[in-house]
Chain A
């Protein structure tokens, strides 16, 4: 949609006629790029993975050689839990974003990664070399062949990075350009404690990647992660989104300015301003004391008071610096503490899954072992007596009869001989190896957890130590008190000095005038500014809501379509209690359940994953079928069946996936990892790893 900027400025200026100049309105509404920025960007493209190769070496010396070809449409990776499915996905994420979330022990195993992918008709390859302590990464155009040899001269190198942060930056630039993404911004308070600054933050490629990679454990967090509605807007790419966002940021800054101006009287009383104030006063007092010294030499201990005053101020600032430093350390320690706690809970979760798998395998060992012994116990027996008439049976085993023949009815007994002993023995051996591996892992995890607990205890100790130190806060109070006393004495002396001569009287009255003026400036200044800012703010608010309604005029139909798609999919996934999906003008999504609208956070725990799946899938469908939006048309879904395993859901999920494969298989790519073997056969391209086997 074309928006005439001059006309728009006119529209807004008319609304505020008489209160603000048109020129000022134009300045306020000007942003760093065109209002039509959204409609001028590249049309949507598609990302498709072609192949992934990973080589490395496990800590026990086993070589890792994983290779997988990806196809358009649905790709299913079936393997038991804890066998490396998620690691494969995290490696893909690392290669595409440079953001690492691979488990530490697994990451140590990896040496080289080669990921081939296409964007529309262009081929690209990413080479990661993780052998050294620093990451070395190349993004080249063309198809990567050998993983071990990378011949730089043979390729057109798009990006060459020798550190993780350089790689992240480069990949962000690359994908932002390819998919026409730009950074919607928002404001946030400066993280430094005393700072009154407001900072600008923008959406990054790893954040957008959350709309591509649905991790197994994040289904309960906000849709698309923390910056949900922003990413949602980027993905939909609706016209006017850019100016609305930039004006909103401007508005935030304005509100902040306004608050600052209005509170500036209060600010004077804040500790930092208080110091300044004290210094000013001191300067004046010094002036006076000097004057008194001129007049009379018997006021010598005024110098002593001044010195004391000066020392107290110095002491105060040292204490203040200490407080700031210890708060910083406190924050760092808390960050460390929560990281350790997260590792502990992850390790606990893995330990409990490991325990379950180990128990399962141990049970199976006993079951099969007992079966083998029983079968041996009852082997080579002749039928001696008829169980029906209780008479002896004379007929003996025919030496020519086949082995797999029932000794009583002589019918062939396939099912028992289908599994001969050797088969069982090897199955048993497999299980025993699995159990011992799982036990080793369990022990490792226990050790790891113990180490983490020690670390946690260490951090807690440090935190307690700092907490004890917090008494320095209390040191400030007596200092202030002393200061006030000294000040009072100085004032007292001034009063005495007044008696000394008229000169001093004049000084005092001059000081009073000065102080009065200072007070006047403080009292008056904010009023003027805040009035001006107030009108600016109203102008911006009006302009934003005008743009929002213009956006809705054109995009309303698209949002309704998306609501319908999401509703249909949610219901197909088994959430029939949801009867309506609503997206409001600020892009919040609400679900109608039992007559009332609820947000995503209020959807029942066991149903969030479905709501989320429905959103992801709908956004892509909207894009393909209505040519709206900027999603890369590629999804990774890790463990969609985990913990929501009711059979209705599994059936619905299979249907939804099949339906998408049939309709859109050649226009999108979805990679799914699951331990749920009932999903076998749903996808055309499937790779199932046998039970208890590792993906790599």
Chain B
């Protein structure tokens, strides 16, 4: 049986007190939690509002910047487009970037660009000639060549009649090496001829001690040049007008323009000359053609004492054995006969050792027809 709580007033009071406290505490807790929740909600809303605003602002800023960059890129692209020559057709690319020689459109035609530079007798200073790249297209050089064309001629005046006759030398019209470095005749003249001459001279009548040689031979080694006739030696420079790229503008020896006697020399790289450029070869001879150097002449071989000048052979004649030049009646036998040689005093031969240095750049032209390039 249930006992009534108020049966005991103290107990009832106590119980009522506890119950009242509990209810108040519960109500208070409920209200506090509600307030916290409200604050949370408010904060969250405020935060969301702020974050949302920031996000929007950032996005707008980025969008604006991107739009500006886009605009500038677009401007730049327009400028670039205006600067770039647009290729159409097979090549297709708008911006070709670095063009390799292989990519230059046009038909390849092997070609040798060459000049013939006259090197006349006694020339020792710079001579030049130019070649203009055709408007048909660029020229690509791969190798260089050089050779020397002799046009050696001579004229003989008859001492008695005064008649003149002209002859080409043996080297006339022949191609010669453009340098002496590979000269097969260098120092090779017959030493045995000199020995024979000595034997011959001393074998007949021994000259008195201290007396000069009484006679000589035209075959004396000192009477002929040991170098090949009409060989060229010089320095060659190459300049290009119309281009901002300097070429071989410092002269190099002609010996480096030919391998061995006449071989081509590979260039260090393909040399591309644009249309309209002007290649100029400048040549400076090291010596006159067929230089009459040395002191081997008639003064020491056939001294013409009576005329007090140098007799035959003459200094200019040291290439005569090679060229087939002969001085008519250069030496006649004097009244004493035997070894009494009387050489002519004046040289009846005038030599004209003209030549043409031929310089070439070997390579190919890239023929590009005017207008549309395919």
B is bound to A: no
Binding site for B on A (CB under 8 A): none
Binding site for A on B (CB under 8 A): none
